[in-house]
Each structure stands twice: as structure tokens, then as C-alpha cells.
Amino acid sequence: MLPGWKKYFDPKILADLSGLGLRRSQIFDGGPLAGAHHSPRHGHSVEFADHRPYVPGDDVRSVDWKIFARTDRYFLRNREDETTLICYLLVDASGSMDFAAIDAASGATTKFDYACQAAAALGFITLDNQDRCSLRLLGGTGYDLPIAGGAPQLEALAEALSRSRPGGDTRIGAAVRQVLPQLDRPGVVVLVSDLLDEPESIDTAVAQLRAAGHDLLVLQVLAPEERGLTLAGTTRFEGAEGEPAIELQVEAFAQAYQQALYAFTDQLVQCCQRHGSHFLGLTVGEPLGKRLAAALHQYYGG
């Protein structure tokens, strides 16, 4: 078994996601006949899209003889291809993602580990549905995976995630805009990040992804301590991406912090809603499979 397999492909999470998958919000041209998604291209699949008059040179096997019997005119049956969906997994590997939750219930898992597990689970169900995916790290160290499908891609995904390490100063909005030209075929972009960046920069990145024809699912991963600032007493906070350390009396700032977090999160949610994208807030340590399953049901049905 590959080193990363058990870490990233938890059977309980995959069981929760059984039968679910990502979807495009519109008909798209995803590629060769394989998956369960409709395309505007016409070929020899099972569903009729429309009819058109026969012209010399057309394949007579596509003639609708029932219409010919009624009208004495030749019409061809155009059919919809079922095509593969492409899922682009974008995982934030900046230094802030290396924060490990202090709460014992979370098992001291870092945000990056939790984000990788979420990306792996969505990659798994994508490949299980005979679709294709790729992986791109935004910051940190490791390597990316080109678009591919099948069992080999699943093994490659586990290996790539297991060799990835977060670190460095990466602004997520700029990082997304930088990789956008490489996402050259419309698909579903899954962005997994703590989104600790200026809301305006994130808004620009989301708008550009949508303008390029991609659907977008944004997963924000935060530690429990970030959600509620549950620490107490005088605490030293050290910057994960080069910011200077500060000492604070936590209780004196807890309420203001909570209000700022609510306002920040609301901006992110409104950004995604404004651009027709989906947003899901996740907290390290909570049951990942159940949260993802509920979101996929809500967003895509199933």
C-alpha cells in the first residue's frame, strides 16, 4: 500500500461520499466519451439532442426512419455525448496551512493535512465516476499532477500529497490567478485553503475563474482556535508567513476578533454567491465525510 493511501483515503470518509460527485452547472465539452456529463458535441451516444435535415455525405445510419415514414423526408438524429468532467484540485500549501490545531479532539492535525484529505476525497469520487482530475499546490514544496484518470491517477494523487509540505509566504488570490492560464479546459475548480488573504484579491480570482468558464467549489479550512480564539491568558502569536510575533491578552481581543472573523467570512460567502460559486467552511477535527456529503447533496443533488 502506498504511504499516503491510508492517510488521505479514509474508508469512513469515502463511505460517506459514496454515490456522490461533482457536477458542472451548465452543459460543457469535457472531452472524449467516458463520464456521465452532457456535452454540446454530437456523436453516437444514447440520448437524442435534436434532428437536422440530411445532407449528402452524412452517415445514413443516423437517419431517423420513423420520421422518414411520416414525412418522406430525411432527418438525422443528433445525439449528446456523455463526456468526462475535469476537476482541478488547487491546494493551499502556504505557511499558514502548517498550523496544527491545539484542541485534543482534533488529533493535532494541521490545516494542510485536513485540506489534503478533503482534496483527496473529492479526487477519489471524481476518478470513481470515470472523470479526470489534476493537482496543483499553491506554495510550499512538492509537485503537481497533470490531468489524468483511472487507478494510476489515484495512486499518483496519494503519492503527491504525501510528499507535499506547506511553507513560505503565498497570497492565495495571486496564486490562483497565476495558475489560471494553465487550467486550459473548462471544468470544476476545487480550491482548498484557509483563504487568509485580502477579500478583494480573492474576489478577483473567483471572478476570473468563472469568466474562464470554470465552476468553482471553495473549501475554507480553519483550526478550531481560529474559528473562536479559544485560548486564554497572555499568549504569544507567531506569524506563519513572516509576520512579526505579538503578545496579547486573549480575553481583551476575543470579541473583536470574533466580529472581524464573521465579517471576513461573510465577505467570502458573498463573493462566491455573487459569482455563482459554492462556499463551504470546514474546521479541522470535524467529521470531514459528513460535511462534504451534506454540501455535495445541497450543491449538486444525488
Same domain? For 251 and 179 the reply is yes
* pTM for the whole structure: 0.79
- What is the DSSP secondary-structure string of 108-162? T-BHHHHHHHHHHHHHHHHHHTT-EEEEEEESSBS--EEEEEHHHHHHHHHHHHH
**Angstrom distance (rounded) from CA 44 to CA 39:** 12
Same domain? For 39 and 124 the reply is no
Q: Which letter does DSSP use for residue 165 in this model?
A: B
The cell 470535524 sits on which residue?
286
Q: Which domain holds residue 258?
A: 5-27+85-300
Same domain? For 128 and 141 the reply is yes
- Treating both helix axes as pointing N-terminal to C-terminal, what angle do 199-211 and 172-179 enclose, rounded to 10 degrees? 20
CATH of the domain at 90: 3.40.50.410
Q: Is 282 exposed, middle or buried (0-12, 13-18, 19+ CB in 10 A)?
A: buried
Show pLDDT as tens, one digit a residue, over the chain (302 residues).
566 677 889 999 999 999 999 988 754 444 443 455 554 444 444 344 456 676 666 667 778 777 878 788 877 765 433 467 999 999 999 999 998 876 545 455 899 999 999 999 999 999 999 999 999 999 999 999 999 999 999 999 999 999 999 999 889 999 999 999 999 899 999 999 999 999 999 999 999 999 999 999 999 999 988 887 766 655 555 545 455 556 565 665 667 767 888 999 999 999 999 999 999 999 998 999 999 999 999 998 75
Res 68: pLDDT: 78
> Residue 218 in contact with residue 191, Cβ under 8 Å?
yes
Structural domains of the chain, count: 2
Same domain? For 68 and 203 the reply is no
- Angle, vertex CA 32, rays to CA 31 and CA 36, nearest 5: 85
Res 53: pLDDT: 74
Same domain? For 74 and 111 the reply is no
